[in-house]
Amino acid sequence: MNHNPTTRSASNGRHHRRRTRLTAAGILSSLALFGAACASDASSDSAGGISSDNTQDSAVGTQPTSTDGAASETPAPESSTTSVLSTTSTSTPAPDCRLRTGRASFEFSGEERSYRIALPDERERVPLVLAFHGFGYSADAHETQTATETVGTAAGFAVVTPDGLGTPKRWHLEGSPIMVLGGGVDGADSIAFGDALIAELLATGCFDDDRVFATGFSNGGELAIQMACEGRSRLAGLGLVASLNTRPACDRDPIAVVSVSNVGDPNLPYEGGELLGGPTVDSARDTIAAWAATNGCAAEPAVEPIAILVTTVSFAGCDADTLLHEIDWDAHVWAGAPDDPVWGAAPQDVSATELLLEAFTMLAWG
């Protein structure tokens, strides 16, 4: 794999932000203000979701003609009923695909669950990326911060970004260290929801069953990890931002893992330790090494500065690619994102979205 990322404009020096460790109570207060400042989810749902502005920018990879994958082996749970109906239509569907770019929903455990969906121009059994937002965000806010739909569709991927539950929105995961922020959501099972969403989407015939990827920021990355470890869906790879060491690696079949972690993250300690004054976590390097062992990699990694602010930790001889991009930045943010009202400014010299999608492009098309 070519690990040289697409980077933003170069700068003349290293970028550091003063580390500000936020308390759980302070984060909850900030998230409430953030939610009030953002457009409400209800208004975005009724307005029809995705703007046509989300079909721009350069691709991070070339899209060859895809091949059909095997039929899905994951049936939808009985609690899930199909209702994949878009409220907007901004592109022409493939002959056998009835989905459109926009907002859609389906019923899960007696509740209507909504998600954004963005489709590339060529849409016959295309690879699929699930993008899970972080604690306190929403699907709309996640796309504003990450531009995963913009970059992903330009590269030939379909991107689906669902909404979590609760106020503020989050993903309920038993034993989650991030749940110290505000607890779980009664009756929610986010892993089962993720599996049901994938089954719902694969049943449309629009996506390649063998090229389903999951990404996530913070609590959303936790969900991606737990789906790979405990879920029923077959994932081709994980793209984790500010979330790698929220969970230990699991003993499972090899799966590609690409992580973007900020070395100076004050809330998810890169070197390991207490998370927001609560449970302890392993270091990012120890966690990626554990994934490397699961993936059959050589024990010793190659550590190489590859761009401004970016050092890559990679492993040879793997059954599935295992890669950590270390970003020299002191905030709990998505690299390349606009300034975040809760977590602070993000580096603009490198894009976490492009780093993840570059890796997924190599995995999806070789």
pLDDT digits (tens, 9 = 90+) for 253-273: 999 999 999 999 998 999 999
Label residue 156 left, alpha or beta by phi (over 0 means left) and psi (-120 to 50 means alpha).
left
Q: What is the pLDDT of residue 294?
A: 95
Determine the distance from the C-alpha atom of residue 245 to the mean position of all C-alpha atoms in its chain, rounded to a whole number: 15
Whether the per-residue pLDDT at 53 is higher than 60: the answer is no
Q: Which residues contact 103 (CB under 8 A, 6 or more apart)?
A: 44, 45, 48, 49, 50, 86, 87, 88, 114, 115, 116, 117
Name the average pLDDT for the chain. Answer: 78
The answer regarding whether domain 24-365 maps to CATH 2.30.110.10 reads no
Q: Which residues contact 118 (CB under 8 A, 6 or more apart)?
A: 50, 54, 101, 149, 152, 153, 158, 159, 160, 161
Whether the per-residue pLDDT at 63 is higher than 60: the answer is no
Whether the per-residue pLDDT at 183 is higher than 70: the answer is no
Q: What is the pLDDT of residue 276?
A: 73
Copy the structure tokens of residue 275: 């998370």
Q: What is the pLDDT of residue 178?
A: 63
Whether the per-residue pLDDT at 144 is higher than 50: the answer is yes
Q: What is the pLDDT of residue 185?
A: 60
More confident residue, 358 or 78: 358
Whether the per-residue pLDDT at 117 is higher than 80: the answer is yes
Whether the per-residue pLDDT at 22 is higher than 50: the answer is no
Residue 36: pLDDT band with limits 50, 70, 90: very low
Whether the per-residue pLDDT at 59 is higher than 90: the answer is no
Q: What is the pLDDT of residue 177?
A: 67
Whether the per-residue pLDDT at 61 is higher than 70: the answer is no
Among 9-23, 166-180, 305-319, the range of highest mean pLDDT: 305-319
Residue 278: pLDDT band with limits 50, 70, 90: confident
Question: For 11-28, what is the mean pLDDT?
Answer: 41
